[in-house]
Amino acid sequence: MDEGLVTVIGMSIAYAASFLGMALAWYGWKKRRGEEEK
């Protein structure tokens, strides 16, 4: 496989994990805000 393509695919997989972490932070923030409003 082309070296450049392999590099950016690998990088994209790492970014997918980052998006998951960010989604969890979003969920935690919304949950916390909801509790404060109650």
Partner 1 sequence: MEGPLIRFTSLDWFWAGAFLLLMVGGAFFFYRLARRSESDFFLAGRRLPWWLPASSVFSTHTATDTPMWVTGVIYAHGYRGLWYTFFTAWTAIGSFVSARIFRRSLAYSQAEWQIMRFGGFGAELLRGWLAGWQVFMNMFILGWVGMAMGKVGALVFGWPVWVGLVFPTLVTASYTLAAGYWGVVMGDFLQGIVAIFAILMVSLVGIMAVGGPAELTSRLVEMGEGWRMDAFAFTGMFTGEFPAAWWLTMLVIAVVGGFGMGTSIDWYPEAQRIQSAGSVRDASYGIWAGGAITLIRNGFWAASILAFFVLAPDIANVADYELGWFRLGFELLPAGLIGVFFAAILAIHLSTISSHLNLGALYFTRDLYQRYVRPDADEKTLVWVGRLATAVLLLGSFFYGMMMQEITRWLIFALWLMMAGIWLPNILQVVWWRFNAWGYLSSWMANLGVAWLVVWVLPAFGVFPPLPDYLQFWLLMALGAVVFFPITFLTKPEEMDHLVRYYLQTRPLGWWGPVHAEAVRRGLMDEEITARAAPRPLVKRTWTAAEAEEWTREDWIVIVLSPLVMAFFMVGVASLLLLRPGGILLTTLALLGSGAMYWVIDPKLRAVSAEYEQRQAKYLAELERGVRWEREARVPQPGPAGAGREV
Amino acid at 1: M
Q: Binders of partner 1 among 1-38, rule CB under 8 A?
A: 1-15, 17-29, 32
| Paired tokens of 31 | 């949950």
Size of the site for partner 1 (CB under 8 A): 29
Shortest reach from residue 29's CB to partner 1, in Å? 5
Amino acid at 21: G
Quote the radius of gyration of the chain (alpha carbons, Å).
17
SS3 assignment, position 27: helix
Shortest reach from residue 32's CB to partner 1, in Å? 5
Q: Which residues bind partner 1 (CB under 8 A)?
A: 1-15, 17-29, 32
